[in-house]
Chains A and B, each alone.
Chain A
Amino acid sequence: DQQVKQNSPSLSVQEGRISILNCDYTNSMFDYFLWYKKYPAEGPTFLISISSIKDKNEDGRFTVFLNKSAKHLSLHIVPSQPGDSAVYFCAASSTSSGTYKYIFGTGTRLKVLA
């Protein structure tokens, strides 16, 4: 039972354009969400997070949007750069359920074309 889903295994975007990565979740108890970026031969690195009390969080070129009613979050990268080419994972956790884990999606491979 995949509680966090990234339905697009890959995405290609032209340099300078917007990249939009999507993530859906099924557990309504999730209230904290994160995005990670992973380069080959490295561990995932934290990008940006959002709490369920907000619907948007920005950090430089990266913005995460949360739609609680649709159980959907998205990561926008504007403008996209070749160095953004990596695998992106979304993750979710529930701070109130008493379970101490982050559930990860299966990842989306972003390729930014120069």
Chain B
Amino acid sequence: EAQVTQNPRYLITVTGKKLTVTCSQNMNHEYMSWYRQDPGLGLRQIYYSMNVEVTDKGDVPEGYKVSRKEKRNFPLILESPSPNQTSLYFCASSFLMGISPLHFGNGTRLTVT
């Protein structure tokens, strides 16, 4: 089954404790992206990747890192999480950015205390 898989689904952590949210897709998509969803703000892009070893900032990249060492994986790294990073995070992939739709994972709800 074609899918985008994120782990974990839920995560509660404390300020400053490094964490990684994994994302994997099995559709051989070149484009992958991370979004956060906050009440009243919709989905905002954090980082995206056009292909292996090619990443770039989205609209809200501060406090996040990403890497794209393999085509299928695009982990999101929070080196020193802060409470304002409490949010619902979605990973997404697309075959051809801009003319084919994004396929989303089921989300990771992160709480930073």
User: Chain A interface (Cβ within 8 Å of chain B)?
Assistant: 4, 6, 32, 34, 36, 41-46, 49, 51, 89, 91, 93-95, 100-102, 104-107
Contacts and interface: CB of A to CB of B under 8 A. Distances in A.
Given A42-B106, A43-B107, A100 B48 contact: yes
B98 A100 contact: yes
14 contacts: A4-B42, A6-B42, A42-B106, A43-B106, A44-B104, A91-B43, A94-B98, A95-B98, A100-B31, A100-B50, A101-B33, A101-B58, A104-B44, A106-B40
A101 B48 contact: yes
A104 B43 contact: yes
Contacts of A36: 104
Contacts of A43: 4, 90, 92, 104-107
A105 B42 contact: yes
Nearest to B104: A43
**Most chain-B CB neighbours within 10 Å: which of A36, A46, A100?**
A100
A41 B9 CA distance: 9
Nearest to B42: A106
A91 to B, nearest CB: 8
Given A32-B99, A104-B35, 9 more contacts: A42-B107, A45-B104, A94-B98, A95-B98, A100-B48, A101-B33, A101-B59, A105-B42, A106-B42
